[in-house]
Amino acid sequence: MSRVALVTGGSRGIGAAISIALKDAGYTVAATYAGNDDAAAKFTEETGIKSYKWNVADYNESAAGTAQVEADLGPIDVVVANAGITRDAPFHKMTPQQWHEVVDTNLNGVFNTVHPLWNGMRERKFGRVIVISSINGQKGQFAQVNYAATKAGDLGIVKSLAQEGARAGITANAICPGYIATDMVNAVPEKVRDSIVAQIPTGRLGEPEEIARCVAFLASDDASFINGSTITANGGQFFV
């Protein structure tokens, strides 16, 4: 029987590429989405990957949603915490709401997604936790105090989970994508985006599939001794 993988924010952008890469690698995949019903329906129709709607910022919704996926598809072996949002503003203009929305989704959302699955993985003695962080969690970013804080927090989560899960056959790792050609990056004003691309030695934005391939590797048995690590995939823009 194929392993089951859950990808949050898995019907658009980097998440969609991850869902498809895992399906192509033989997993049974469930993709979550928060609000865009049309995009999710189109994604499911085109790929055959089931999509589920819940808000990762809400613990009870996440617990109920993951339980439903397990009832439909079987125990979740691979969880990819990918769902994330931006609410960019220079700090002097950042509102408490912008801070909390980003923390609730990007940081609390990781807890809410992984925590309901953790005991099952421990009991089955296998699990793969993969968290999609960001280059901006490593280097910080103008107008992203909220986002950078959550993405740096993601790295603390995987380094701690790696230690707790190791004896139970669970690995936890992060990927820090650089600037990838998605709606999120396209929302950055064009002039700013051009100046960012100019800082990428590769000379272009990354492609979602370039991140998805990192996920497929970390999920595989080949990556069994990689635990608590961060894969940096940013075209050479920033070295850790």
Q: Which residues are catalytic?
A: 147
Interface with ligand CAA, residue 143, by CB under 6 A: yes
Q: Under rule CB under 6 A, how many of the chain's residues touch ligand CAA?
A: 19
Q: Is 152 in the site for ligand CAA (CB under 6 A)?
A: no
121 or 143, CB closer to ligand CAA?
143
The closest of 237, 43, 4, 24 to 138, measured between CA atoms, is 237
The single residue among 179, 208, 214, 232 that binds ligand CAA, judged by CB under 6 A, is 179
DSSP bridge partners of 128:
78, 171
Residue 81, strand partner residues: 131
48 contributes a contact to ligand CAA by CB under 6 A? no
If one asks whether residue 188 binds ligand CAA (CB under 6 A), the answer comes out as yes
Residue 94 binds to ligand CAA (criterion: CB under 6 A): no
What are the φ and ψ backbone dihedral angles of 98, each rounded to 5 degrees? -65, -40
Side-chain-side CA neighbours of residue 212 (13 Å): 20
Cβ 169 to ligand CAA shortest distance, Å: 30
CB 52: neighbour CB atoms within 10 A? Answer: 19
Q: State the Cα–Cα distance between residues 63 and 165, nearest whole angstrom.
A: 20
| Residue in this structure with the two tokens 């809410």, named with its chain if needed | 112
- 103 sits near ligand CAA (criterion: CB under 6 A): no
Amino acid in the structure at residue 72: D
Choices 11-19, 87-95, 103-111, 167-175 (CB under 6 A): range interacting with ligand CAA: 87-95
105 and 56 in contact (C-beta within 8 Å)? yes
| Binding of ligand CAA by 86 (CB under 6 A) | yes
Whether residue 22 contacts residue 14, with contact meaning beta carbons closer than 8 Å, is answered with no
Using CB under 6 A as the binding rule, whether residue 240 contacts ligand CAA is answered as no
CB of 189 to ligand CAA, least distance (A): 5
List interacting residues with ligand CAA (CB under 6 A).
86, 88-90, 93, 134-136, 141-144, 147, 179, 184-185, 188-189, 192
